[in-house]
Amino acid sequence: MVTEKAFACLCEDVTVNELREVIRQGYSDIEEIKRITGIGTGPCQGKQCLHFLRRIISEETGKRMDEIPITTSRPPLDAVPFGAWAAREEEHP
């Protein structure tokens, strides 16, 4: 059993209780809930929390999990190797 004070999204400090409140206000679309709470917008980009959010939506609305679409992942236009950032020299004016 997950407590209401448990974090659903560690990146953005969103609690289970916050999500349940938003869903009870009538929001049940993941994109709407993301905009209101910030869930799924942190460094992990929802890899850790969006499936958990689907479960909470399912519990609150009675919808089956397969009826709740997951958001589309949007990677950068061009991949940038991590080493390119790590090796970058600082520019001084």
Please report, for the chain, the start and end positions of each structural domain, with discontinuous segments joined by +: 7-86
Q: The CATH number of 7-86 is which of 3.20.20.70, 3.30.70.1350, 3.30.365.10, 1.10.10.1100? A: 1.10.10.1100
Residue 49 phi/psi, 5° resolution? Answer: -120, -20
Quote the strand ranges of 1-93, DSSP E.
7-9, 14-15
pLDDT tens-digit series, residues 51-75:
999 999 999 999 999 999 887 766 6
pLDDT tens, per residue, the chain with 93 residues: 677 789 999 999 999 999 999 999 999 999 999 999 999 988 888 888 999 999 999 999 999 999 998 877 666 667 777 777 676 666 655
